[in-house]
Structure 1
C-alpha cells in the first residue's frame, strides 16, 4: 500500500459509548488512537459516569452537553443509542472523521498482524476514487496495481473520496432474519482489497467502521430515520443504512467517490438476533420501498453542497414516500432540522 502522510491534527476519532466501561476497548485501540484527538459521546440513555483510561487526548460529551448545544431545535432529532456518534460529527472541526463501534477491536490480517484501521481509512480517503468506470484490478492506486487495458485515460486521475466503508471479521453485519436463520455464521475471510463503488449504485453503509471527509459529506451523515420499535443493537436499527443511501446519492451528484473494503475490525457478539428480529422486521420491509426510491433519485444542478443535497432529498422523501408511512415523513422533517442544526452550530464558531 502506498504510504500517505497523515496530519494528526486533521483527524478526529468519534466513539459512541453504549457501555459504561470503555477500558478494554480503549486499551485495545491505544496503539492506533493515542496519536489522534478523540471525541467520545455517551449515549444519553446511559446513566452514570464513563470509565475511560488515562493517556488519551479527548473530549467527552454527555447528555447535558447535547441538551446545551442542541437546545430546543426540534424534538425530531434523537441522539439515543448509536445515534449519539452523530453529535460527535456535529462537534468535530477536523477534515477527516473515523468512527468504530465500541464492541469492535483491531483485526488481524492473513499474516496474523494487527491492522491499523485508522491509517487505512485515511489512505482510502486521501487517494482518488474511480466511480465512473470500474477497474477490474480494483483499486488502481495501490502498490502492485494499475489501470487495466481499455480504461479511459481521461478518467485515470479519479475524483476525491468522501466515504470509506470498512468491513468486519467474526460477526458480520447481517440483518436479524439472516443471523437468526444462520446463528453460527461468521466472517473469517480477510480480503486485502479496496474498490470504488460505482456511481448510481446503492450500498448498505454501516456505521460500525467508517471514515469520511467531513468537509465534503459530513452533513449527509445524520440521525434521521428511526423505527417505531427501534432498539440499541445494530440488528435493531436501520438509521445508518438510510444515512448511507443519502450520502451515496450526495456523492454521486457531487462526483465524489465511495470506497469499500479494508480496513477490517474484529466485531464482538452482542444481543439476541431472534429478539432483535421483532424490532427490525419493520425496517426490513420498508427497505423494499426505500431502495428503488434512492436508485431513481436525481438532484438539481443548484445543489452544490452536501447541505443543499440533503435538503432536496428530504423534500423528495416527503413528496414521494411521505404518504406511504409516517416514518418517512418524520425522517424528512428530521433531515431538514439536522441541516439547520449543522449550519447553526458552525455559524456560532
Structure 2
C-alpha cells in the first residue's frame, strides 16, 4: 500500500462501489469516520427490511439507498432473502462497477502500528489489482508488495501469478470470533496489527467474513451469494454463518477457474456488539452444521464444462443437494437458493445489455 493511500494509477474511482448493509438506522458516526476514505466513491446502502426507523445519513456523499420496496421492485418474483446480514448481497447484485468493497456498519477505519489511518479501500484494490500466487506458497507472503519478492526455489513458471478475484480483510478490537469463543473469552480483543498479505493456497478452504471484503465483480461476482440462512422459521437465524458458506463457494470457484484469493491487510476497527450468549442461541445450529460442510467443500470438484462462475455455482448447488441434502433439509434449501440467485443474477445482467 502506498504511503499516501492513493489507489493504483490503473484503477479509477468510478470503477469502485462501496456496499453497506444498514442494520442500524443512524449511520452518522459510521459515515463521518469513513468520510476521508468513502467520499471519493459511489456508495450503495441497503436498508435491512427488518429496520423500521428512517436511515440517518450525513450529507456530502454520493450514495443511493435501497429499501424493501425498491429491492422487491428489482427482484420481481424472486424469493432470494436479503434481510439482516444478507442485505449486503443485494448491493453486489445491483452494482455495475468492476470492484466492490463491502464494510459492515459496525466497523470503523483502523490505524496501523504507526498510528496512521488505514485506507481500507486502497489496500483492497491494491490486493485485487496485483496477481495472486495460489499454486505455490511464497514464504515471504505476497511477493508483489513493495520490498518483497519470490524466495529461492519458487518456480519461475508460476511467478506471473493469476488474477486476484477476492480480498479478505481483518479486524482490530473485536475479532470475528464465533459465538462459543466469544462466550468463553468475553474479554479477548485483537490488538495485533500484522503488516502482511498472503494468497490462500489452492484447494485450501478459509472462513471468509463478509465484514470487510472486496472482490472483482467481473471475475467472481455471482459466487458471492446469499443462501445459507433460514427464513420464515421462527426467530432462528443462521445468517452469521452465511458468509462462511458464501466464502467457501467462492473459493471453490476461484480454484476451479484459476483465480486467486488474498487475506491479511486491510484492517478495520470493529466496535463492541451485543451479547455473546444471544449470538450463541442464534448460531449454534449453524455451527454444528458447518462440521458437515467443511469436508464437502474440501473434496468437491467441478467439471471441465464449468467455464463461467454461473456454471460453477450451478454445479456446486447440484452437489450440495446430492451429497448434503440427505443429511439435513437446510442444505436442499441452500441449493435451491443458489440456483435462484444465479437466475436473478442472469436476469439483472440481461436487463442491462
TM-score range, shorter chain: over 0.9
Aligned pairs for 1:303-322 within 5 A = 303-322=306-325
The equivalent residue for 1:291 is 294
Q: Of residues 75, 91, 94 in structure 2, which corresponds to 1:91?
A: 94
Cα shift readout 1:127-157 (whole Å, capped 9, x = no counterpart): 0000000000000011111000000000000
The equivalent residue for 1:81 is 84
The equivalent residue for 1:224 is 227
The equivalent residue for 2:15 is 10
Equivalent-residue separation in structure 1 for 2:266 and 2:82 (angstroms): 26
Equivalent-residue separation in structure 1 for 2:184 and 2:140 (angstroms): 34
Using the size of structure 2 for normalisation, the TM-score is 0.96
Equivalent-residue separation in structure 1 for 2:107 and 2:228 (angstroms): 24
Equivalent-residue separation in structure 1 for 2:310 and 2:179 (angstroms): 33
Equivalent-residue separation in structure 1 for 2:257 and 2:50 (angstroms): 37
Contact 1:40 1:59 survives alignment (8 Å): yes
Q: Of residues 47, 59, 64 in structure 1, which corresponds to 2:52?
A: 47
The equivalent residue for 1:140 is 143
1:229 CA drift (Å):
6.5
The equivalent residue for 1:36 is 41
Over 4 Å off, 4+ runs? 227-232
The equivalent residue for 1:57 is 62
Residue 72 (1) aligns with residue 80 (2): no
1:71 CA drift (Å):
1.6
1:48 CA drift (Å):
2.9
> Structure 2: any 5+ residue segments left out of the alignment?
none
1:196 CA drift (Å):
0.1
* Secondary structure of the structure 2 residue equivalent to 1:259: strand
Cα shift readout 1:49-108 (whole Å, capped 9, x = no counterpart): 21100011111110011111112123xx11010101111110000000000000000000
Residue 203 (1) aligns with residue 200 (2): no
Q: CA RMSD in A?
A: 1.3
The equivalent residue for 2:122 is 119
* Secondary structure of the structure 1 residue equivalent to 2:222: helix
Contact 1:8 1:36 survives alignment (8 Å): yes
Contact 1:23 1:51 survives alignment (8 Å): yes
1:231 CA drift (Å):
6.1
Cα shift readout 1:270-310 (whole Å, capped 9, x = no counterpart): 11111211111111111111000000010000111111100
Residues 230 and 178 (structure 1), Cα distance of their counterparts in 2 relative to 1, 3 Å cut? farther
Out of 44-53 and 140-149, give the one that drifted further. 44-53
Contact 2:86 2:239 survives alignment (8 Å): no
The equivalent residue for 1:330 is 333
Equivalent-residue separation in structure 1 for 2:293 and 2:250 (angstroms): 14
Contact 1:236 1:276 survives alignment (8 Å): no
Q: How many residues align?
A: 345
Equivalent-residue separation in structure 1 for 2:34 and 2:236 (angstroms): 27
Cα shift readout 1:300-340 (whole Å, capped 9, x = no counterpart): 00111111100000000000001111100000000000000
Using the size of structure 1 for normalisation, the TM-score is 0.97
The equivalent residue for 1:26 is 31
Equivalent-residue separation in structure 1 for 2:283 and 2:85 (angstroms): 15
The equivalent residue for 2:282 is 279
Equivalent-residue separation in structure 2 for 1:332 and 1:324 (angstroms): 13
Equivalent-residue separation in structure 1 for 2:167 and 2:239 (angstroms): 23
Equivalent-residue separation in structure 2 for 1:302 and 1:27 (angstroms): 48
